[in-house]
Structure 1
Amino acid sequence: MIIDAHQHFWRLDRGDYGWLTPDLAPIHRDFGPSDLEPHLARHGIGGTVLVQAAPTLAETGYLLDLATKTAFVRGVVGWVDFEAHDAPDEIARLAAHPKLVGLRPMIQDIADDDWMLRPDLSPAFEAMIRHDLTFDALVLPRHLPRLRRLLARHPALRCVIDHGAKPEIAHGRFDDWAAQMTALAHETAVCCKLSGLLTEAGAGAGRAKVAPYAAHLFAQFGPSRLIWGSDWPVLTLATSYESWFEMARSFVSNAQDRQAVFGGTAVALYRL
């Protein structure tokens, strides 16, 4: 089964998407299952992982309700306030839902670059381990040394880096990002998503600009730790679902490797 391991739904009138402003006109509207389903059918994609887009428990509840009604949504990555004193109890409550597979604090938007290393967050990370949940690391390149320290502190925490840590492709910055990703791949068991790269490449960017970054991720993580995702509908700011799907497949030519990157690894990581 092909899995799209990173997609979003939202409804604007819910009012908790602080980042989703009218300036992002192409995606400043509602997106639901009926919008995505034709793309999945066209490419034989049998399931998705639905990922949070707002830092609220209300949105996580909304996504879990959608997942219950939508057969192709195989899992939900939600949100919990890791700073709350009752975070472990909240994680336990959410983990009881059969489609809750992971959690994602929106680290890229947090002013404190060392936030993930705060000692008072350890109970939340330990609760994730107890409930067999995956930590989606929404990080930027500057966070990667901190992520290495976090994973050394919690070696049993199952983790995946979203969007290849959003390398600054549009500015041609490669070496420091590549070194940090190599260190993470060699020193930890973290996985990585092959997603979001075209969005980071800038307007009009094509395969040539993204290819070195994708090749580095594949070389370091290999098919058993690399997971394809669309990041739809954010993807549509850069290209179409079809274009990214075909481009990503071109980065993984071996049929057995494709089975892993485009489904098998996601199934294993998220316990789908």
Structure 2
Amino acid sequence: MVIDAHQHFWQYDPVRDAWIDDSMQVIRGDFFPEHLKPVLAANGVHGCVAVQADQSENETAFLLDLAGKHAFIKGVVGWTDLRASNIREKLATYAVNPKLKGFRHIVQGEPDVNFLLGEAFCHGITALAEFGFSYDILVYPKQLAATAAFVKKFPEHRLVIDHVAKPDFKTGALEEWASHMRSIAQSPNVYCKLSGLVTEADWQHWKPAHFEPFLDVVLESFGPHRLMFGSDWPVCLLAAEYKEVKDIITQYISKLSDTEQNNIMGGNAISFYHL
């Protein structure tokens, strides 16, 4: 089964979605399951994981409502304030919904590069495991040193790095990012999503070869048993069509065994998110 481990839905709101600036007209609109379903079918993808794009509990409710109505949405990664004093009470409420698989915070937007290591935040992360939830790590390379320390604090948790931590594909700067990623990958409970590549590259002039040195690092470091394909649709549309995004990964991993390819394209997501 092929699973897209990372995509988004939204009903466009110009205030809430102010991050969608004038250069992003192609995604300045509504993106619902009825828009994605035919795209998945045309690309041989059987299901997806819907990930939060807005930091609100309304967003989590919105995604869970969609998942309840559309069987191809196999799981939801939502948002709640993990620093809340009543976090366990919140998670107990969420735990009754089998489609809710984990949570994410947009750490890349936090000015403190050590945000992940905050006491209240780590208290919330500890609570996630008690309820069987995973955590998606969304960071920029400048936050990877803190991420390496963070994952060591939670060796029993299911953790996944989103978008290969957004390295600088435009310049090809590799070494510092690679060093941190290799360190993070030493924790066997941490996975990595092969997602969000094209939007971190030159939107008009990227080539698959631009990503290969970076993909080599995560394949070597995490192994094919801890990597997941994700499209980052509809954000990916800024730089590529869905098929182009999927082809980057399928062509890169074509050198692997059938079992390893199947795991990256779906099996690992099924296992990680308990789909």
Structure 2 length-normalised TM: 0.95
Check conservation: 1:148, 1:188, Cα contact below 8 A.
no
For each residue in 1:26-82, what CA deviation from the matched residue of structure 2 results, as whole angstroms up to 9, or x when unmatched? 101000011111111112211100000000001110010011001100000000112
> Quick check: 1:20 aligned with 2:23?
no
Query: Which residue of 2 is the match for residue 217 of structure 1?
Result: 218
Shift of 1:7: 0.5
Q: What amino acid maps onto 1:96 in structure 2?
A: V
Query: Which residue of 2 is the match for residue 258 of structure 1?
Result: 261
Check conservation: 2:151, 2:184, Cα contact below 8 A.
no
Alignment of 1:170-181 (within 5 A): 170-181=170-181
What SS does structure 2 have at the residue aligned with 1:24? helix
CA distance in 2, matches of 1:98, 1:151: 26
* TM-aligned CA distance change 1:43 to 1:167, over 3 Å: same
Alignment of 1:233-252 (within 5 A): 233-252=234-253
CA distance in 1, matches of 2:70, 2:220: 35
CA distance in 1, matches of 2:11, 2:229: 25
CA distance in 1, matches of 2:21, 2:62: 20
Shift of 1:188: 4.5
CA distance in 1, matches of 2:35, 2:91: 30
What SS does structure 1 have at the residue aligned with 2:30? coil
CA distance in 2, matches of 1:17, 1:96: 29
What SS does structure 1 have at the residue aligned with 2:105? coil
Query: Which residue of 2 is the match for residue 73 of structure 1?
Result: 73
Shift of 1:106: 0.5
Shift of 1:95: 2.1
For each residue in 1:184-228, what CA deviation from the matched residue of structure 2 results, as whole angstroms up to 9, or x when unmatched? 112442100001111111121011111111122111111110000
> Quick check: 1:159 aligned with 2:170?
no
CA distance in 2, matches of 1:268, 1:188: 14
Alignment of 1:58-69 (within 5 A): 58-69=58-69
Question: Between Structure 1 and Structure 2, how many residues are aligned?
Answer: 272
CA distance in 2, matches of 1:216, 1:163: 14
Alignment of 1:1-150 (within 5 A): 1-13=1-13, 16-150=16-150
What SS does structure 2 have at the residue aligned with 1:11? coil
> Quick check: 1:270 aligned with 2:273?
yes
Check conservation: 1:135, 1:160, Cα contact below 8 A.
yes
